[in-house]
Chain A
Amino acid sequence: MADKKKIESKYIIFNLGQEEFGIEIKKVIELQELFNITRVPKTPDYLKGVINLRGEIIPIIDLRKRLNLESIQNTEDTRIIILDMKEIVAGIIVDSSSEVLSIDKGYSENVANFTSKVSTELVLGIIKVKKRNIIILDFEKVITI
């Protein structure tokens, strides 16, 4: 895990409700506003469907459903973050995202005394930045069906 605790990485911060999450910017291809998603039958309910991203078919995961959080109505802040997970390109739907943070420390894997509604099996760790708790998800696990 040591190599994941990179010094001075840029993170894209996104929100689900009150929780703040971070993802390393190098894994992010782009942010998109919500647009036409085609449902794919016979897949888990957190797989929202597929979109056309410049001719490529990209699966989209509803991150709230994936993390067992209650669903909310989409708003104009709702975003799709397109991630490059080496072999898979996929999108996640988040409530909003507007910030890029430079963080110069790694995450703490100790999430035991951290209280969040997010199921911990998909969480890699937490980064504390000036009283903010940024949750780092294990996207390798998040993006599976």
Chain B
Amino acid sequence: MDMSQYLEVFTEESKEYLQNLNKCLLSLEKNPHDASTINEIFRAAHTIKGMSGTMGFTRMAKLTHDMESVLSSLRNNEIEVSSNLIDLMFKCLDALEDYLDKISKTGNEGTNEYKETIDALNSFIKSEKEIVPAKQTRETQTKKDTVISGSELAELETLAIEKATEKNLNAYKIHITLNKDCLLKSARAFVIFQLLERFSDIVETEPRITDIENEKFDHDFIVFIVSDRDGKLFSDELKLIYDIEKITVEKLMGCGYSNQKGAASVTDTIGKKKPAIVKTARIEVDKLDNLMNLVGELIITKTRLQGYETANKSKDYRDTIEYLEKISAQLNDAVMKVRMVPVETVFSRFPRMIRDVSRELGKEIIFTTFGEETELDRMVVDEIGDPLMHLVRNAADHGIETPDIRLKTGKTKEGHINLKAYRDGNNVVIEIEDDGMGINLKKAREKAVKKGLINEKNSKNLSEKDIIDFIFLPNFSTSANVTGMSGRGVGLDVVKTKVESLNGNVEVQTAEGVGCKFIIRLPMTLSIIQALLVYVGDEKYAIPINSIYSLERIPVEEIKTVQKNESMMLRKLEIPLVRLDKILKVTGQKNIKKKITIVVVNRNEKLMGLVVDGLIGQYEMVIKSMGKLLKNVNIAAGATILGDGTVALILDVNSIK
């Protein structure tokens, strides 16, 4: 059977399960006795095993199988949660991730068998079982160990009824028929089991679990469960699962030993066409981008239409245009929403990393995240992962002190790292805050002098902010030679560059010995910005609103000139002036003016005045890429299409010198 068409479904679903496993393992480490977490981990591993087996990825299936054995012992209280166990499980996850990575790239799982990991899993049960004797006998039989002598339904029914009577519960027989065209039948089956286990104990299945796992069934199977819930609940819940064609829930009556069937039988046939659940679709990002482009086009066309000077603008015409405007705004919003994803997808990578770092360095770190549901443009989310990883790792690595040092300085033993995301107008702010040692400004200043960035004398006059700016310079410090300092120079230039390439900015607040906070401000979307359109000569340029500090108009006499460098005073602050026409080499006749117009912009958190020849207005602009040929033109962050169909460049103020 050709499985290639299911590959994507498989990798995507597996990735989700892995992510879930990751989360569960971390929470299990905190609450080692939480049975529901153990169950969830078990089920996730089980599902991955089933799916990879179905897809013919035997190595992956083997690994998850052995993982499952360990988890099964855990579930039966034969072994206990330990750091070693969690470490081992994370190793397995790494291996699985590696398999998935290979699969999504090449279509096969590769040849690495992770023998070491598998051996570790196998020896783990042996060694642990000897140390920790089983504390109690199992209440429910685990799926793996169950052996049914004869798979006669009657016997199973009896078994279920016995169980139910024992616990004073109801026994149900649920017959489930899957759609004929269901992909990954066993995976679906496990989703079903997972769901049933939320409300009940599964007593047995027909065919046996192992057979269902290996897809050794046609399209239907029977599950015997015991529960205190009503039979209707099961059929209602099951209806929500994909790919189920028919469900029959039958309450098994008779206290004990008869197979008499009761009347309480609910049968549900689910029409194929009827969606019962919020359906989602995975869409290629390319298609979304295309849609986005078309909406951008529509908005541009609409703006052009608005500008048409028709001789008699009838009311009808105006109303229609107004309606078009409303619709296109809504369409734009809708498309933007489609592109938004919660930052959770990035945040979820960190707890594991914090755990590894703190174990490695012998630190105790409490990592908390806030606002994971905050949404950002998919592209921003994809790009921001690495810089954030860097900052979080730095906080754990260099910010947070070891427990003994913390105690000595009167802090709690555990260090805290908070990762927070929230929306602020059209921006999303992400803060990484730690209560570690902070940045040693004195050391940073000395370092700047040593590096020849500034001379000793001038360095005394540096403000705190100036010094912090140094740490964002490339190669300013490496962890090797700044052990005394927090060592935060490592790769910070990369972080800054990345964030700025996303039209965002980074700010740092620090107090020595108290902690450090990085504040990253990002635009919610990269595709549409608010910008000020200005004249430079008779050319039009756009300046992004988020980099504009203020607009000024001053008489030419107020320009100060020192060694050909012009500057102006802005509320007692001297700021440099830049003649945009010179920078942009705009040619053409210039009128001598008595007053000049200045757009004050924030460049790398320093103010700078851009001298322009006129202001046109503020517009919402669709950012277009300048294409491959012009990708190195750094004066422009992109281009936009104006209402009249012409192109205007969007200035990248950070590149103006």
Contacts and interface: CB of A to CB of B under 8 A. Distances in A.
A88 interface: yes
Contact of B633 (A38, A42, A88, A144): A42
B41 interface: no
Nearest to B294: A55
A55 B583 CA distance: 28
Contacts of B584: 41-42
A56 B647 CA distance: 10
A57 B625 contact: yes
B628 A50 contact: no
A55 to B, nearest CB: 4
A88 B624 contact: no
B636 to A, nearest CB: 7
A55 B630 contact: no
Given A52-B645, A55-B300, A41 B630 contact: no
Given A38-B639, A50-B639, A52-B641, A43 B646 contact: no
B539 interface: yes
Contacts of A136: none
B634 to A, nearest CB: 8
Contacts of A88: 627-629
Nearest to A43: B633
Given A41-B583, A50-B647, A90-B629, A55 B639 contact: no
A118 interface: no
B147 to A, nearest CB: 61
Interface string B292-315: 010011001000000000000000
A38 B628 contact: no
B648 A38 contact: yes
Contacts of A43: 630, 633
A52 B630 contact: no
Nearest to B646: A36
B633 A40 contact: yes
A89 interface: yes
Contacts of B630: 40, 43, 50, 59, 145
Nearest to B539: A39
Contacts of B648: 38
Contacts of B649: 38, 40-41
A58 interface: yes
B624 A57 contact: yes
Nearest to B655: A42
Interface string B632-657: 01011001010001111100000000
Interface in A46-91: 49-52, 54-59, 87-90
B286 to A, nearest CB: 15
A63 B648 CA distance: 23
Contacts of A50: 626, 630, 639, 647
A143 interface: yes
B533 to A, nearest CB: 13
Contacts of B626: 40, 50, 57, 59
Interface in B338-383: none
A35 B629 CA distance: 20
A89 B586 CA distance: 26
B646 A57 contact: no
Interface string B602-626: 0000000000000000000000111
Nearest to B585: A41
Contact of A36 (B586, B635, B639, B645): B645
B635 A51 contact: no
Nearest to B645: A52
Interface residues of A, number: 24
Nearest to B293: A55
A143 B628 CA distance: 11
B635 A57 contact: no
Contact of A58 (B297, B300, B627, B636): B627
Nearest to B647: A38
A51 B627 contact: no
A41 B582 CA distance: 10
A51 B191 CA distance: 53
A55 B627 contact: no
Given A42-B633, A42-B635, A51 B647 contact: yes
Nearest to B537: A39
Contacts of A52: 641, 645-647
Nearest to B298: A55
B322 to A, nearest CB: 24
A41 B635 contact: yes
Contacts of A143: 629
Identify which of A39, A41, A143 gathers the most chain B CB atoms within 10 Å of its CB: A41
A55 B298 CA distance: 10
Interface string A4-37: 0000000000000000000000000000000010
Contacts of A41: 583-586, 635, 649
B641 A55 contact: yes
Contact of B627 (A39, A89, A144): A89
Interface string B570-589: 00000000000001111000
A37 B36 CA distance: 65
Contacts of A145: 629-630
B639 A57 contact: yes
B635 to A, nearest CB: 5
Identify which of A52, A54, A87, A143 gathers the most chain B CB atoms within 10 Å of its CB: A52
Contacts of A38: 539, 639, 646-649
Nearest to A59: B629
A40 B293 CA distance: 22
A144 B628 CA distance: 10
Contacts of A39: 539
A73 B148 CA distance: 92
B540 to A, nearest CB: 8
A145 B626 CA distance: 13
A103 B296 CA distance: 42
Nearest to A38: B647
A55 B296 contact: yes
Contacts of B296: 55
Given A42-B635, A50-B639, A57 B629 contact: no
- Top 8 nearest A-B pairs (CB, nearest first) are A38-B647, A41-B584, A55-B297, A36-B646, A52-B641, A57-B639, A57-B624, A59-B629
Given A59-B627, A59-B629, 6 more contacts: A36-B646, A40-B649, A41-B584, A41-B585, A43-B633, A87-B628
Interface of B: 293, 296-297, 300, 539, 583-586, 624-630, 633, 635-636, 639, 641, 645-649
13 contacts: A38-B639, A40-B630, A40-B636, A41-B584, A41-B585, A43-B630, A43-B633, A52-B641, A55-B296, A58-B627, A88-B628, A88-B629, A90-B629
